[in-house]
Amino acid sequence: MTRKLLIWGAVLILIASSFLLLPNYALKRVACAFPRVRSVDTIVIQPFCGMPTSEVTFLYNTLQKSYDQVKLNAEIPLPASAYYAPRNRYKADSLIAFLARRSVGNTIIVGLAYQDISTSKGNITDWGVMGLGYQPGRASVVSLHRLHRNNLTSQLYKVVIHELGHNFGIPHCTSTACYMRDAEGQNHFDEENHFCPACMNLMKCNGWK
């Protein structure tokens, strides 16, 4: 009799624990179903001529702590076709299209420019930006031009991971301290210090550590 009770007790505990585990499992499955850039396994850093080597090296070393495969390409000139003479800057839309064509295999390619970059926004045909990336997609570009010089290294890293988030398909986030916050024409990067739990979960679905 005692033995029968013990067996039933064990069965009930097993059933109860499976119910406890199920919500976590289901949550993870739902969260990881969206968004994911399938088959990407390498982040390629592509500096354009003029980028300071120290900033590129720091970024390369730091990204490797959060992503398994990071590759650093030799610098290349900015494509003349992306130059916008009226404002002496480069069209970010053209740059990411140029970079996407160089994204071979399972890679996302992040261009780094010292020069100013811009895109069109609503009725404004030429709007200066810190970065631009496909959402989702295989290419993004980041410029040093609008970043705070007293905190350049940290700001560069934050813009790059923001654009990588877009490449992974992650939209802007309402949390003011989250790296996925919408810049809305300002530089808030010193107020951002983490991926909020929801954005971090989506980053992890895409291989971020």
Among candidate residues 113, 204, 192, 104, the one with its CA nearest the CA of residue 164: 204
Query: Could you tell me which stretch among 7-15, 32-40, 78-86, 174-182 binds Zn ion (CB under 5 A)?
Result: 174-182
Report in angstroms how near the CB of residue 202 gets to Zn ion at its nearest.
9
Minimum CB separation of residue 45 from Zn ion in Å reads 19
CB of 170 to Zn ion, least distance (A): 8
Among 175, 201, 204, 207, binds Zn ion (CB under 5 A): 175
Residue 196 interacting with Zn ion (CB under 5 A): yes
Strand boundaries in 73-200, DSSP class E: 83-84, 89-91, 107-113, 117-121, 124-129, 131-133, 139-143
Least distance in Å: CB of 123 to Zn ion? 19
Q: Which residues lie closer than 8 Å to 184 by C-beta, 6 or more apart?
A: none
97 vs 196, beta carbon nearer Zn ion: 196
Which residue from 24, 80, 17 is spatially nearest to 49, judged by alpha carbons? Answer: 80
- Phi, psi (deg, nearest 5) at residue 20: -65, -35
32 touches Zn ion (CB under 5 A): no
User: One symbol per residue from 124 to 163: x for binding Zn ion (CB under 5 A), - otherwise; what is it?
Assistant: ----------------------------------------
β-sheet with 131-133: strand ranges across: 70-72, 42-47, 107-113, 139-143, 131-133
One-letter amino acid of 18: S
**Token match 């983490």: residue?**
194
Task: Considering the complex, state which of residue 54 and residue 176 has its C-beta at the smaller distance from Zn ion.
Answer: 176
Which of 82, 95, 117, 180 touches Zn ion by CB under 5 A?
Answer: 180
Binding span for Zn ion by CB under 5 A among 101-109, 119-127, 139-147, 172-180: 172-180
* Alpha carbons 47 and 99: distance in angstroms, whole number: 11
Residue 165: φ, ψ to 5°: -55, -45
* Using rule CB under 5 A, residue 178 touches Zn ion: yes
Applying CB under 5 A, among 109, 173, 203, 205 the residue interacting with Zn ion is 173
Tell me which residues touch Zn ion (CB under 5 A): 173, 175, 178, 180, 196, 199
